[in-house]
Amino acid sequence: MKWTNKGHELDSAGEQLCRLFHDKEKKLYIFGAGRIGREVKAVFVKTGCFAGFLDNDENKQRTGVDGAEVLSLQTYREEQRNGLLVIAADRKHIPAMENQLLGAGLKKKQDFYTATEFMERIFPILSVYEFGRLFVDIVQICLTERCSLKCKKCAHACYAVDKSRADMSLETAKESADCLFGKIDLMREFVLIGGEPFLYAGLPEIISYIGERYRDKMSVFSITTNGTILPCQAVLDACKRYDVLIRISNYSSAIERLEEQYKKLLKRLEESRIDYVLGDKEQRWVDYGFESVDWGWQEAELLKTFERCKTPCREIRGSRYYYCVMARSVSENLRMNLGDKDYLDLARLEGDGKKLLMEFQMGYSERGYLAMCNHCRGADAVRYPIPAAEQISCRQYSRNAWKRREVR
């Protein structure tokens, strides 16, 4: 979306959301008292609007979760509780939970939202207009583009990065965190990623730097790893100290030997009492087409593609705040030289810049799209499934490295 009224693009949406929030007595309930619900709860607690959990699990209703009350949907309705409900659960459970709420006479977008929609599209606006606090759902920092795997369709094109490529310097990593947290008040999740972040030599130091200064601004501080590398004791100690969650992408369907590796990693994490999530075995990815698509589109089509896409993954790099981490990394790693203007410079924001930054976060910019959208299938990528984590052979890699393979 193009900026036409900078700093005021979402005034009317903000007003409407504040009205709805006040009608709901400024109370937010979370339907689903599992891990995702607890992550969302930590954000709501910081803004003083968390009212309680709902859950179908009778045990949780009896004992409560995280020191909070857990209601059944029936009790919630019988006691005529008033509030906005946010469904927080694994994607596969959402349709059934939505149906349960609809069946109880509640209305979507009036009485309830899914957590993804609420945290990405609603709460950032509400937070600025109601509380004067800038909230973003998730931001990543790519500490290294090097990786221990070479996945054929890596969405960051890390397969094209040479092992000798210099990582982000520790100074830049620290500057990135300072710039970001200097502007943002609250975040659901801040992620250290790569490439493979366990290859980053300064990992213990950057975890400690961020943890010491900014841990209270985020609900989840995490590292996403492919699980091929066992972290050293210094990394484990820093993770323990700052309550860092290790998210392990599960590529064992494509790479069988990883099963054993994951067992070793999990054992090490458990011994160090570090929280982790081993993802479900990934079977299918989508092909964004970055290295093979060139639409040759004009502005109208690019605006439409960008608007439909709604990618959630923002990235901080020095003072540059990128809307799409994939666009930035693919452009750099495949040397496409695209998108030199596709970021917001946080160092140049005037005043607190909260509304401007929130608008950028929601997809507003001078151009209204990214240069990389011309080489991307965006929302249509779901129609191009590919096997997850298929590895590039050395021969394929040397033949194809740096090259764009096909032009439409």
Residues that bind ligand SF4 (CB under 6 A): 147, 149-151, 154, 156, 158-159, 194-196, 226, 288, 305-306, 309, 311, 324, 326-327, 370, 372-373, 376, 378, 389
**Cβ at position 50, least distance to ligand SF4 in Å:** 32
The number of beta carbons lying within 10 Å of the beta carbon of residue 200 is 23
Q: Are 288 and 381 a contacting pair, CB within 8 Å?
A: yes
Distance, CA of 309 to CA of 305 (rounded, Å): 6
- Please say which residue, 131 or 297, places its beta carbon nearer to ligand SF4: 297
**Cβ at position 400, least distance to ligand SF4 in Å:** 14
**Cβ at position 373, least distance to ligand SF4 in Å:** 4
Q: Nearest CA to 321 among 146, 179, 121?
A: 179
**Cβ at position 385, least distance to ligand SF4 in Å:** 15
Orientation of helix 203-214 relative to helix 170-183, angle to 10°: 20
- Please say which residue, 86 or 147, places its beta carbon nearer to ligand SF4: 147
Residue type, position 356, single letter: L
Q: What are residue 52's phi and psi, to 5 degrees?
A: 150, 175
**Cβ at position 293, least distance to ligand SF4 in Å:** 10
Distance, CA of 202 to CA of 235 (rounded, Å): 9
- Please say which residue, 271 or 407, places its beta carbon nearer to ligand SF4: 407
Q: Is the peptide bond before 132 cis (omega within 30 degrees of 0)?
A: no
Distance, CA of 146 to CA of 248 (rounded, Å): 17
**Cβ at position 118, least distance to ligand SF4 in Å:** 21
Q: Are 294 and 408 a contacting pair, CB within 8 Å?
A: yes
- Please say which residue, 55 or 315, places its beta carbon nearer to ligand SF4: 315
- Please say which residue, 188 or 247, places its beta carbon nearer to ligand SF4: 247
Q: What are residue 272's phi and psi, to 5 degrees?
A: -90, 5
- Please say which residue, 71 or 389, places its beta carbon nearer to ligand SF4: 389
Detail the DSSP E strand segments found in 201-359.
218-225, 244-248, 276-278, 284-286, 314-317, 320-322, 343-345
Q: Are 349 and 183 a contacting pair, CB within 8 Å?
A: yes
Q: Which residues pair with 391 in a beta bridge?
A: 151
DSSP helix/strand/coil, 61: helix
DSSP string, 339-364: -TT-EEEGGG--TT-HHHHHHHHTT-
**Cβ at position 75, least distance to ligand SF4 in Å:** 42
- Please say which residue, 246 or 372, places its beta carbon nearer to ligand SF4: 372
- Please say which residue, 204 or 378, places its beta carbon nearer to ligand SF4: 378
**Cβ at position 204, least distance to ligand SF4 in Å:** 21
- Quick one: which H or E segment has residue 86? strand 84-87
- Please say which residue, 221 or 306, places its beta carbon nearer to ligand SF4: 306
Radius of gyration of the chain (CA): 22
As to burial, measured by CB atoms within 10 angstroms (0-12 exposed, 13-18 middle, 19+ buried), residue 67 is exposed
**Cβ at position 90, least distance to ligand SF4 in Å:** 21
**Cβ at position 257, least distance to ligand SF4 in Å:** 14
Chain position carrying tokens 């950057």: 206
Q: What are residue 93's phi and psi, to 5 degrees?
A: -90, -10
Distance, CA of 378 to CA of 373 (rounded, Å): 7
